[in-house]
Amino acid sequence: MRPRLQSISRIARRESGSAAIIVLALMAIMAVYLTSNQLTLHNLKRDLKRIEAQQLKKFQLPAQIDGKKAGRQK
């Protein structure tokens, strides 16, 4: 009976080690996924600010543009 118990405990240790490796691998994949999402979000915010500035410049009213130019000349 004794050798059988030892073989069972060895198998259990191997399975436990495999489970730990799988969990660590999944956590690493999740960390990469989160990092890439953060980078994408940062880039989208930067692009949105740039586009907003372009749109505000493009659609300014002529009176506002003339008023700013006239204010600078004084």
pLDDT in tens, 65-74: 666 665 555 4
Q: Over the stretch 21-64, which tens digit does the pLDDT of each residue have? A: 999 999 999 999 999 999 999 999 999 999 999 999 998 877 66
Containing 61, the helix (H) or strand (E) segment is none
Amino acid 74: pLDDT: 46
Distance CA(7)–CA(4), nearest Å, equals: 5
pTM: 0.55
